[in-house]
């Protein structure tokens, strides 16, 4: 009877935390679309050199990458709840700094605001790992997938807030959008106060308990590194192509509105499959779903190479989003299964540093390559990276049969 009571309590606690994390993801992940959609436009107005217009967006990705390891350390020392509350306050500050910088016309401080937004995003990105804490097997994949559903809500909230609040501050375009970003982070702060830690004796860990493998030992683990590499390739290729796509569409004679619609459908395709990805992982396994994601990313590149009509761009971007979803969620489940509880913070922080470090590097590189070599080469470059990861994934999936 007592065991049943403990199990019921654990289940209720898990469901409560999962609900909190989905809501926090919906609010926190909306920050990214706001920065990405407006960063270049604001940068164009504030920067003295037009070549620096997209720097705020790249700085955002840099903040995300550099924040991953410190965020993991803070959560390991003080717990996820404390870390997430700190992250939300950084999110509030980021919106206020960016809005103030726009008001005073200061490009440097605007970049500081987007950097802080990236630091906030490094906490938001780890919500998916928090959902997997204490889960085993198929439950882990389902929990990660459900939190990622919050990204679908965020993909709608972010652009709509930009439209609704861009002129909210008279005479200062877009300042209102970044104030709304701060407001979302503040709401997320209060939502996250409802997050509770797990108290099971089997999973209890004090902040000083720093056992398990060190960084070098994790890097030497084939199972862990395969999950990390799959995440790097899935997210990195998606970011690489998505950054170049609007430039390619406009360069091919399509309108800016068409480019915006293409990106919106892409973002929706990134998160909508989360409704079923967890079930697919439970049925077919995380390695197979990850491999399927990489194959779909490859198909998106093949579609892009067949023509430059609007339908080619739209179909390619939608497939790219679906492929990212399968690849990234599958890779996250692989990483979550490849470390112990004691290694959690170290392993997850290292993974996110690798993934978002690659995203940051590619965001700096993609636009320049697009201008120098064109859309065709961008898509051709995907295939070698996909092949490098797909081969060991197929081998691992075959071993699990």
Domain annotation for the chain: domains and CATH numbers: 9-197 (1.20.1250.20), 216-401 (1.20.1250.20)
Whether the per-residue pLDDT at 238 is higher than 70: the answer is yes
What share of the chain has pLDDT > 70, as a percent? Answer: 90
> Whose structure tokens read 């997850």?
348
pLDDT at residue 23, rounded to an integer: 94
CA-to-CA distance for 267 and 273, rounded, in angstroms? 11
CA-to-CA distance for 91 and 85, rounded, in angstroms? 10
pLDDT at residue 138, rounded to an integer: 66
Are 278 and 144 in contact, with CB atoms under 8 Å apart? yes
Whether the per-residue pLDDT at 227 is higher than 70: the answer is yes
CA-to-CA distance for 258 and 247, rounded, in angstroms? 11
The stretch 356-366 carries a mean pLDDT of 80
H-assigned helices in 252-309: 256-271, 274-284, 286-305
Dihedral sign, CA of 388, 390, 396, 399?
A: negative
Q: Which token pair is 230?
A: 């799959």
Which has the minimum average pLDDT: 121-125, 231-235, 257-261, 292-296?
257-261
Residue that wins the pLDDT comparison between 401 and 78: 78
The DSSP 8-state label assigned to residue 309 in this structure reads: S
pTM above 0.85, yes or no: no
Which has the minimum average pLDDT: 87-96, 184-193, 374-383?
374-383
| Mean pLDDT over each residue of the chain, to the nearest integer | 85
Angle between helices 382-399 and 286-305 (to 10 degrees): 160
């Amino acid at each position: 009877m007592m065991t049943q009571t403990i199990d019921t309590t654990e289940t209720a606690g898990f469901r409560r935390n999962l609900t909190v994390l989905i809501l926090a993801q919906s609010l926190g992940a909306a920050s990214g679309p706001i920065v990405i959609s407006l960063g270049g436009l604001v940068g164009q107005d504030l920067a003295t050199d037009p070549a620096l217009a997209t720097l705020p967006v790249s700085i955002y990705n840099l903040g995300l990458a550099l924040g991953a390891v410190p965020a993991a350390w803070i959560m390991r020392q003080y717990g996820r709840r404390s870390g997430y509350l700190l992250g939300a306050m950084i999110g509030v500050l980021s919106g206020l700094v960016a809005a103030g910088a726009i008001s005073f016309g200061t490009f440097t401080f605007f970049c500081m605001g987007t950097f802080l937004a990236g630091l906030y995003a490094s906490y938001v990105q780890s919500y998916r790992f928090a959902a997997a804490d204490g889960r085993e097997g198929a439950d882990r994949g389902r929990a990660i997938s459900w939190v990622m559903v919050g990204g679908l809500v965020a993909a709608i909230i972010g652009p709509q807030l930009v439209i609704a609040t861009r002129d909210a501050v008279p005479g200062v375009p877009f300042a209102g959008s970044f104030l709304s970003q701060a407001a979302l982070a503040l709401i997320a702060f209060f939502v996250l106060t409802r997050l509770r830690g797990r108290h099971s004796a089997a999973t209890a860990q004090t902040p000083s308990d720093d056992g398990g493998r060190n960084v070098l030992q994790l890097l030497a683990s084939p199972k862990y590194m395969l999950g990390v590499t799959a995440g790097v390739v899935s997210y990195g290729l998606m970011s690489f192509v998505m950054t170049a796509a609007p430039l390619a569409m406009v360069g091919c004679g399509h309108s800016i509105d068409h480019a915006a619609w293409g990106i919106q459908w892409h973002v929706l395709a990134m998160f909508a499959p989360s409704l079923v990805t967890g079930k697919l992982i439970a049925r077919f396994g995380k390695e197979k779903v990850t491999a399927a994601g990489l194959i779909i990313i490859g198909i998106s590149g093949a579609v892009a190479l067949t023509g430059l009509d609007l339908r080619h761009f739209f179909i390619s971007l939608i497939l790219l989003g679906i492929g990212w979803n399968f690849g990234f969620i599958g890779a996250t489940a692989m990483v979550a299964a490849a470390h112990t509880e004691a290694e959690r913070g170290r392993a997850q922080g290292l993974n996110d540093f690798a993934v978002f470090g690659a995203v940051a590097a590619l965001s700096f590189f993609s636009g320049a390559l697009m201008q120098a070599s064109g859309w065709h080469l961008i898509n051709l470059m995907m295939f070698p990276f996909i092949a490098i990861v797909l081969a060991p994934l197929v081998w691992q999936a075959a071993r699990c049969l």
